[in-house]
Amino acid sequence: MSDTHAQTVLYVRETMLPESAPPVSEVGAIRWTRENLFSSPLNIILTLVSIYVVYWVLIHVGPWMLGGIWDASTLTECREIRDETLGPDASVACWAVLTDRWHQLLFGFYPPELYWRPLLALVIFLVGLTPILFTSVPRSVLAITAAAPFVCFWLLWGGSVWLPVSVALGFLVGYVAFKFLTPVSPLAGIIGAIAAPILYWLILAGPIWAGLDAAVPISIEFVESRAFGGFMLSVVIGLSAIVLSLPLGILLALARQSDLFIIKTSAVVFIEVIRGVPLIVWLFTAQLLLNYFLPPGTNFDLTLRVIIMVTLFSAAYIAEVIRGGLAALPKGQYEGADSLGLNYWQSMRLIVLPQALKISIPGIVNTFIGLFKDTVLVVFIGLADPIGFSNLIRASTDWNGIYWELFIFIGLMFFIFCYSMGRYSLYLEKKLQREHR
């Protein structure tokens, strides 16, 4: 339509209207409330019922929690304070059990003067994780990542510094064997990377450790594993199993898809046997039966046995999660890697595994969260985890009869750890989606 014709038609506007703000009901909190809480008659009913339930919980639980007593040395004293201040019929929480026994719930029987060691170990571990979890962290921090497991072990248990050093040398031996044998045969490189460290640890690690300790004795106070307890024990077992099970699970997933009959069959048997037996049975196996397979006179620490068994259990589940991610990839991804002339390990590292792991993130994190919560099962084999220590505290005459306060604290601590893992999972998924675009 021409400008001349537009000016002769009455219903054609010659100028643009100024922009106006949207109605109040279409923006901000009012819009969100209308769309998410009151969008239909059913949603209105559910919203009102939910509000009533939340209100009922708050008016009954809120005064009990917020009006709690924090300054008392026994449950009897706590009740006396309640009777004097609020009356004998009042219902209030006795949080004084936390102020009195917090150190046992967190550190178990670990020597109080050495609390700095597990705290420092946790800080070093978290710093070592940062370049793995966040790509913006400088790659130079990877040196801390490589050293963190051995430094944390030394800080937690103490003893000679040369023990973790001699163990770390085993991984260097495996790397050298892999580099040396891979040009001969990729399979020989894999076997060498596994067999060489094991032979080193069985034959040479002990004499090297003893020789270095005799020549240059550097040590800190040794702490036995039976002193570990509370959340410290759960964190040590849970984080160790999480860090170790992921690479082992990746290898098992690749082995299960291997064309080599022996490797594929071994991986299938391992995964199915481990997954087919409850974790509590494997924990009893670690406690009672594992020593029968060790040389006579060998004293293998129970906590380390539990870490190994929980790691193997978690690795079997991680392997199946990652296998699902590998199966979800189109066949063209594998063919594309072959067309580029990449060998098996190059195609896995550069093309296949990054995509499979991206698909598997929710399942992997879900497995890790379940694993961390399952660490409370160690109470059945005599290790004093947070639940075990709550039983010990309630068995004492000072706090006999207290329940909810301890369990609320334990649940809150587990929630913080598990919620943090879940939030990081969501962050990583969104980040990878943005990068994919």
pLDDT tens profile 392-405: 888 888 888 888 88
How high is the pLDDT of residue 8? 55
How high is the pLDDT of residue 52? 93
Q: Where in the chain is the domain with CATH 1.10.3720.10?
A: 101-436
Distance CA(166)–CA(129), nearest Å, equals: 23
Residue with the larger pLDDT of the pair 249 and 183: 249
Cα 361 to Cα 220, 313, 346, 356, 419: the distances in Å are 40, 19, 22, 9, 15
Distance CA(207)–CA(388), nearest Å, equals: 38
State CA 71 to chain mean position distance.
Answer: 34
Instruction: Find where tokens 């594929």 sit.
Output: 264
CATH number for the domain running over 101-436: 1.10.3720.10
pLDDT bucket at 53, cuts 50 / 70 / 90: very high
Q: Span 194-199, mean pLDDT?
A: 88
pLDDT bucket at 319, cuts 50 / 70 / 90: very high
- pTM of the prediction? 0.81
pLDDT bucket at 27, cuts 50 / 70 / 90: low
Mean pLDDT of the chain: 84
Residue with the larger pLDDT of the pair 436 and 320: 320
How high is the pLDDT of residue 131? 85
Report pLDDT digits (tens) over 150-166.
999 999 998 888 888 99
Report pLDDT digits (tens) over 373-390.
988 888 888 888 888 888
The phi and psi torsions of 68 (rounded to 5 degrees) equal -70, 165
Residue 305 has pLDDT above 60, yes or no: yes
Task: Give yes or no for a contact between 350 and 342, defined as CB atoms under 8 angstroms apart.
Answer: yes
Distance CA(359)–CA(364), nearest Å, equals: 10
Per-position DSSP letters for 274-295, written without gaps between them: HHTS-HHHHHHIIIIIGGGGSP
Return the percentage of the chain with pLDDT > 90, whole number.
18
Residue with the larger pLDDT of the pair 15 and 181: 181
